[in-house]
Amino acid sequence: MLGYIGNIGVKLSLLFPFLLDKFWSLFYKKSMKECGLRVYLRPTCSNFKGLWNISIGNYTSIPKGAVFYCTEAPLTIGDKVIFGPNPTIITGDHRIDVIGKYIIDSHDKLIENDAPVIIEDDVWTGANITILKGVTIGRGSVIAAGAVVNKSCPPYSIIGGVPAKVLKYRFSIEEVLKHERLLYPENKRLTEEELIASRS
């Protein structure tokens, strides 16, 4: 009998965080600038700031440990993006050039202190990555675990390191064109010219 009651207690203790996440997910999604279909969030064990400036596309998965700090600049995440555990994305920073004020006290931001972050469709990030202000992650890219991304990367690139750089590309240009024909309508496909320009 005690074993049975203990099993019920274990099941309830596992169910409660799940239900709490479901409840808070609804609130977070309604508070965002835009939120697509079937977006998976773990708000009870993540940290989101500036929900009103965050847009997320369809079928995107944001795991526990996510830290998304959206300042005056927006964060845009595309469709079918999958994050590994503990991603950090920050669209702004502090001024460090004000004489006579502590960094925490200098609230007079310049325009360049905030810049949008865009993560295009079909991106996969490894665990513990950081993406800083002004970065665009190109469609179909992969970010290696532990990378700190402070510069934009072209579509279908594999990037890693601190600071992150392009390590290689997932596909040749010909393979990307075939891949895009299979997945995207004609008006959304990348052209050969765009791909060549992005890799030069």
Q: Which strands form 124-125's sheet, in the order they lie side by side? A: 82-83, 124-125, 142-143, 157-160, 165-169
Q: Which residues are catalytic?
A: 94
Taking the C-alpha atoms of residue 42 and residue 95, their distance in angstroms, rounded to an integer, is 31
- What values do phi and psi take at 179, rounded to 5? -55, -45
Residue 106 CA to its chain's centroid (Å): 28
Joined tokens for residue 79: 């469709």
Question: Coil, strand or helix: which one is 161?
Answer: coil
The token pair that represents 113 in the structure block: 């202190």
The beta-strand segments (E) located in 17-108 are: 34-35, 47-49, 54-56, 67-69, 75-77, 82-83, 88-90
Report the DSSP beta bridge partners of residue 117.
75
Q: What is the distance between the alpha carbons of residues 27 and 47, in angstroms, rounded to a whole number?
A: 14
Question: Which helix (H) or strand (E) is 194 found in, with range?
Answer: helix 192-199
